[in-house]
Structure 1
Amino acid sequence: MTRDEMREALEDARDLPDGDEKIAALERLLAHADAAGDLRLGMDIRFELIEAYHDHTERWRLLPAFDWCLAAHDRDPSLFTDRHAEMLRWYHKWAVATLRSTPRVDLDETLAALDDMERRFRESGQSPQIIYNLRCGIADHLGDEAAAREWLAKWRATPPDENSDCAGCDPSRQAELLAGWGEWAEAVATVEPVLSGMVGCTEQPEKALVAIMLPHLHLGRYAEAAAAHVRAYRRHRFERDSVGYLAEHLRFCALTGHHARGLDILEEHLGWLDRPYDEASAMEFAAAGALVCRVAHANGLGARLLHRPEHGERRAAEVPLARLGADLAATARNLARRFDDRNGTDHQSQRMESWLAAAPLTTELELPPDEPDGAELTVGSPPEQWRDVLAPLTVESIAAVLDARGDRYAVDADDVIRGRWADAYLHFDRLGERQEILHTRILAARQLPADRLADALEFCNAWNHDKVFPKAYVHDTGEGQLILAGDVTTDLEHGVTGAQLAVLIHATVATATAYAAAVAALP
């Protein structure tokens, strides 16, 4: 391949939805770039791979790509723009954070990487706030609560900078830590700026609500806990990358007497355990699922069978509750043991055992309605039964949601639904072998001249740094104009109800119009 062909292939790979296909395309392209000795192209591809690994299910695989980029920067800093250097600092954070998500990375090597990160940050005048954040998380992961509390105090006392987590996520993570230490009231108070709207991000307020569900329960604030669960689960139910939050929803159900609901949630997401984002989320999901099975069995639901989908050589089956609970408990214990073997402690095993043995806190908690915030739509509303039927994704089902919203759109010859919402053009398409993937491409109405490529890239990198959706990127038309685009991809392999699809499309339109508005506001 020529250099121009490789550059064109890189642009094509960037347009692919996150997943195995995108990673494979980037890895093939990287082999060509390295064989050609093109350092700059190799760096650009590795930057894309780091993002792709992080956004998929193999975050630990970003480490070699990051190490290569860091070494390249040390050899020849001129290869890196200021924005590249900023992103490299961000990737350094990701590299260190993988320790808590997987036992595949070495503890001593990670601590050395964190020490190196701190040295680089201090030498370049960066705030150490994110360093304290990472040290706090690692100490907590290892079970050193005293050290974690000291690092938390420094984290809170140090001003953030562009390398820090966003203003909405920091309080949520701190509340998670405090809840883990039994500091219920302080955990709730910590996320108040998020819940009041003073700070936030695209993951809020649901991320903060998950962090304080159990603190509310322990404080006897049952109505607040119930509202937090229902509001957050409306979103987390449909977002594959929210799998890390599902354990808290399962624990909530187990601890409040909502055994049937807990089993419903477990069954709906059981397939996600077969390919989790990381071992930490798998461990917690399995432990919480085992807890749900145990308390449900003890409360008269032992005869229930749960559907477990096919995976690899395992056939789909209706699994007895006791057997599934035992399997999940074994999975949680095995993963905890792997973390502890790497860490040289027994903290994760002890933590999972406490989850598995947890006793209900109340059995008299009433939940608010499950309907999503936008469920009161009346314009062209489809039949009520449509909302509850699990069915394959179709053009007709997408159109039904848009009709219910009163939106105007067109369907082209390829069954792509196209329309304009404010400053955003949206294309709803179906991808995958069975067209089970909902892929929405977003094009901002405003375009930039080609000589503003650096500004466009900086904007997209900043958006991707701070936001979850849409995934932003720049497309050069080759005619002197830059299109600022984005995409949102959701795998609906197991089907989707009308209500679920409505939530997905409402969220996509909202984030797409926010993205296009931000583009329109550029100088």
Structure 2
Amino acid sequence: MTNDSYDQAARLLQEARALPNGDVQLRMTEEAVRLVDRSGDPDFQFYARLKLVEAATFSGKREKSLAAFAWCLSAFQAEPTRYDHYEHDLLWGFKYMLSEAIELPQISRAEFEQLAAQMVELYRRGGYNLRPVHSLQMQFAVSTGEYEIARAELQRYRRMERDPLADCAACEDSNDTEVAGLAGDFKKMLALSEPALAGRVSCATVPHDTCADCLWPLAMLGRYEEADANQRRGYRLIRNNSSFLRSTGRHMAYLVHRNRQRAALGILERHLSWALDTFQLWSQYHFFVAARSLMRLVGEKKTQIKLNLPAPFPLYQKSGEYETAVLVQWFEEKVNTVGERFNQRNGNQFATTEFLQQLEY
């Protein structure tokens, strides 16, 4: 690598770090990796890929992090002493990989457990405890609807001391909220959400996700003034970042519940492209379920509707004129297809039965 290319790559990484999470930051980081790869400088290649893992994760393009992380993991396992100064960042990135696995129905339970076992081995080698591993196993159980397993994993990780690889308190409370949701314990969900909603804790994804996750329990308890305020506040936080597709679906579902069709249709128009473009199928499923509910609601009174949907949409009409029944059918087919893939992975019917109450209420 020439000095100019090296300097350019370093500058791109520095500039990308100063940008908000999103596509521009990701593209700059990808270009930096391409420049670095011309060098054959393994240390810089390792560092740049760790930055790519982070940028891809927080831009909603986690699939672009997989190859980069695999490269780093392979290099670390081959020469752990050489890369020991990156150990913390690598092990932190492992959490992103298991989180991504939850989103992908093509990754089986057995494969998820294999990844978790590999994570356990590396964490123990580094002298860290398994708090994050049990937290991720809890999150997997939440996604499969297995409350008793989720509760047991929650208890396991909460008994362990926090160490440098523990998630922040805001993220942990946010994840724990979903366990309470499986049990239908709305008051506990809101108690866990309260520190984030009150502004006492925060991070890159909190209260962004918290504002979305609290809408269902608030609605179920009839606390609509609070729910409306959090819907407005939360949507402003996430509307420009596709990594929040799951939460975007929850906002749309709440607006359908409130019969605020115009606002819900605005979310559909603005963010359908995110759902079409993503590889995060659990998040996509959230969005498609909410969109199906919306089109069913619209179809109760209208047979046709004018919408500004993105050109990549398979049913795209330049005129913007759509038959509501046709849109209902399209989203119905997507919900059934994606939902069944998760059922097959999970070994139960949770995705197409009990889970739906969180979005269709």
Q: Same fold (TM over 0.5)?
A: yes
1:148-167 Cα deviation digits (max 9, x unpaired) = 11112223333322212222
Task: Provide closer, same or farther for how the CA distance between residues 73 and 136 of structure 1 changes in structure 2, counting only shifts above 3 A.
Answer: same
Match of 1:127 in 2: 129
Q: Structure 1 counterpart of 2:218, which letter?
A: H
Moved more, 346-355 or 331-340: 346-355
Is the 8 Å Cα contact of residues 57 and 275 (structure 1) preserved in structure 2?
no
For 2:171 and 2:257, locate their aligned partners in 1 and report how far apart those are by CA, in whole Å.
Answer: 26
Q: CA deviation at 1:219?
A: 1.6
> Is 2:45 the partner of 1:46?
no
Q: Structure 2 counterpart of 1:323, which letter?
A: V
Q: Structure 2 counterpart of 1:50, which letter?
A: V
> Is 2:317 the partner of 1:311?
no
Question: Within 5 A, what are the aligned runs for 1:119-518?
Answer: 119-276=121-278, 278-298=280-300, 300-311=301-312, 316=318, 317-351=320-354, 354=357, 358-359=360-361
TM-score by length of 2: 0.86
Is the 8 Å Cα contact of residues 279 and 335 (structure 1) preserved in structure 2?
yes
Q: CA deviation at 1:144?
A: 2.0
Is the 8 Å Cα contact of residues 9 and 36 (structure 2) preserved in structure 1?
no
Q: CA deviation at 1:30?
A: 5.5
Work out which of the residue numbers 40, 62, 74 in structure 2 matches 1:71.
74
Is the 8 Å Cα contact of residues 284 and 352 (structure 1) preserved in structure 2?
no
Q: Structure 2 counterpart of 1:348, which letter?
A: A
Moved more, 23-32 or 285-294: 23-32
Task: Provide closer, same or farther for how the CA distance between residues 205 and 113 of structure 1 changes in structure 2, counting only shifts above 3 A.
Answer: closer
Provide the aligned length of Structure 1 versus Structure 2: 352
Q: CA deviation at 1:202?
A: 4.6
Task: Provide closer, same or farther for how the CA distance between residues 348 and 305 of structure 1 changes in structure 2, counting only shifts above 3 A.
Answer: same
Match of 1:416 in 2: none
Q: Structure 2 counterpart of 1:8, which letter?
A: D
Greater CA radius of gyration, 1 or 2?
A: 1
TM-score by length of 1: 0.61
> Is 2:91 the partner of 1:89?
yes
1:141-182 Cα deviation digits (max 9, x unpaired) = 233221111112223333322212222222122213322431
Task: Provide closer, same or farther for how the CA distance between residues 188 and 289 of structure 1 changes in structure 2, counting only shifts above 3 A.
Answer: same
For 1:173 and 1:49, locate their aligned partners in 2 and report how far apart those are by CA, in whole Å.
Answer: 25
Is the 8 Å Cα contact of residues 304 and 321 (structure 2) preserved in structure 1?
no
Q: CA deviation at 1:351?
A: 4.8
Q: CA deviation at 1:124?
A: 3.2
Q: CA deviation at 1:12?
A: 4.2
Provide the identity percentage: 24
For 1:42 and 1:227, locate their aligned partners in 2 and report how far apart those are by CA, in whole Å.
Answer: 45
- Greater relative contact order structure (CA < 8 Å, 6+ sep): 2
Match of 2:65 in 1: 62
More helix by share: 2
For 2:213 and 2:170, locate their aligned partners in 1 and report how far apart those are by CA, in whole Å.
Answer: 12
Q: CA deviation at 1:195?
A: 2.8
Is the 8 Å Cα contact of residues 100 and 280 (structure 1) preserved in structure 2?
yes
Is the 8 Å Cα contact of residues 333 and 352 (structure 1) preserved in structure 2?
no
Task: Provide closer, same or farther for how the CA distance between residues 172 and 237 of structure 1 changes in structure 2, counting only shifts above 3 A.
Answer: same
1:446-475 Cα deviation digits (max 9, x unpaired) = xxxxxxxxxxxxxxxxxxxxxxxxxxxxxx
Is the 8 Å Cα contact of residues 9 and 33 (structure 2) preserved in structure 1?
no
For 2:356 and 2:333, locate their aligned partners in 1 and report how far apart those are by CA, in whole Å.
Answer: 11
Moved more, 132-141 or 332-341: 332-341
Q: Structure 1 counterpart of 2:159, which letter?
A: A
Task: Provide closer, same or farther for how the CA distance between residues 233 and 67 of structure 1 changes in structure 2, counting only shifts above 3 A.
Answer: closer
Work out which of the residue numbers 26, 35, 48 in structure 2 matches 1:29.
35
Two-structure CA RMSD over aligned residues (Å): 2.8
Task: Provide closer, same or farther for how the CA distance between residues 12 and 328 of structure 1 changes in structure 2, counting only shifts above 3 A.
Answer: farther
Q: CA deviation at 1:355?
A: 6.2
